Amino acid sequence: MTDSTRITEPVGARAPVRTRASGPVQPALPLSSPRLDDFEQAGTGPFPRFVPEDTAACLDVFRVLRPDGTVIAPDPALENGTGVADDDALAMLRTMVRVRALDDRMLGLQRQGRIGFYGAATGQEAATIAAGHALELRDWVHPALREGGILLHRGWPLWSYLAACFGNADDTSTRGRQMPCHYGSRQYNYVTLSSVMATQYPQAVGTAYAMALQHAAPDRPVCLGCIGDGATSEGDFHAALTFAGVMRPRGLGLPLVLYCQNNQWAISTPVERQTAAASLAMKAAGYGLIGARVDGNDALAVLRVMRAAVASARAGGVPAFIEAVTYRVGAHSTSDDPTRYRDEAVTQRWKALDPIVRLAAYLATRGVLVPGDAERMATEADDEVRATLAQVEKVGPPPIEWLFDDVYAQVPAALAAEREALRARLAAAPGAAHGS
């Protein structure tokens, strides 16, 4: 902590860089150009040691619950000793159970060839849903692949979720133009995903900037940018964190939270091959952001940390970069086979840290759930998925026009000509509409 201030002795004290998002509002710090005074007075810091320095900052993992659902350090000053109301915990659990049931069912569908792709959030339900639960509906989400559950948690219909997986005529996310799981809803302020890694991160910065210009602090909408551990290696990640630190509309920090689900695997590449840093969260310091690390399998911990980060950002504090440590217990997608590259024993240990089991056990100790409730919840969720699937699957493919609509606001003449040529061809040979 002190190393960065050792360049000279006699200069005025700089505000310490805060590395935890635990306080209510983090003040915007002045940008720290090298001080000319320091150079004129020509004091010196110690000669660089060229050995790994203490990297304690952002290594600690914040956690509320043990894997068995008991509270690690109940705080009598906080509601329920955990800082989370029972209603909030139960609401999160319901969606987490629903997402698990949905993922299980959709993986089966993909194996049967009924949908073309699926990216499950199995094992990451707490990291996903608790992050979403920390937001208001007016807040925006720039998601990564596994955040679709946030959209359901916001009230988006299951019908729309499933239609997106089939790319059929009811697919409002992409109108049948993208693979499954590229959800999006303008109404629910969830920006349609692309398959490209990390591009959403600088965009989240821009969305937050636009929010800051159009809404006055402290009551501003907040933008949540989501990313996975693999994409932190992309240039866009560096761009986003750079801009997030530098841009201060109206003299305040951006209403932005940059979130990272570190599930430790990018397809077959472990996080150690993405970075030699001791944590992802510590990267925040290099950009003048606040970094924090949280147990992503502990819904209460994620909610607490994300609420603090969101509240600070809403009010004008320095944006935070939050790393949620979790594990992709399943495959990257349905076209992946993790047994070829990783140790199944480790996966089994992570499976024992199941976020749903943990939260359900906690709610049982609270007396909110009685034995059998969690199982009933899962059965109900699966029933809902199956019943909806049976209907959604009957919806037909998108109309031919959707090939050409939405490229531009109006279909330009050249595209209209291509469309008419296709129509004429289909009219002459109707079978061609079904492909060959």
Residues at the interface with another protein (CB under 8 A): 140, 142, 171-175, 177-178, 182, 184-186, 191-192, 194, 196, 199, 201-211, 213-214, 223, 235-236, 238-240, 242-243, 246-247, 249-250, 405-410, 412-414
Report the distance separating Cα 320 and Cα 223, nearest Å.
12
CB-count exposure of residue 425 (10 Å: 0-12, 13-18, 19+):
exposed
Report the distance separating Cα 63 and Cα 305, nearest Å.
10
Select 198 or 322, whichever has its Cβ closest to another protein.
198
**Minimum distance from CB of 280 to another protein (Å)?**
19
**Minimum distance from CB of 98 to another protein (Å)?**
24
**Minimum distance from CB of 37 to another protein (Å)?**
23
Report the distance separating Cα 358 and Cα 362, nearest Å.
6
Select 266 or 381, whichever has its Cβ closest to another protein.
266
Select 178 or 279, whichever has its Cβ closest to another protein.
178
Report the distance separating Cα 228 and Cα 209, nearest Å.
23
Report the distance separating Cα 17 and Cα 20, nearest Å.
9
**Minimum distance from CB of 310 to another protein (Å)?**
17
Select 21 or 141, whichever has its Cβ closest to another protein.
141
Residue 141: strand, helix, or coil: strand
- The count of residues in the chain is 436
Phi/psi for 290 (5° steps) reads -90, 130
Secondary structure, 3-state, 220-266: CCCEEEEEECHHHHCHHHHHHHHHHHHCCHHHCCCCEEEEEEECCEE
Select 79 or 401, whichever has its Cβ closest to another protein.
401
**Minimum distance from CB of 322 to another protein (Å)?**
19
**Minimum distance from CB of 422 to another protein (Å)?**
15
Q: 202: closest CA among 160, 244, 151, 252?
A: 244
Select 70 or 194, whichever has its Cβ closest to another protein.
194
Which residue(s) pair with 120 in the sheet?
none
Residue 276 CA: distances (Å) to CA of 152, 266, 290: 36, 15, 20
Select 223 or 356, whichever has its Cβ closest to another protein.
223
**Minimum distance from CB of 201 to another protein (Å)?**
7
Report the distance separating Cα 202 and Cα 174, nearest Å.
22
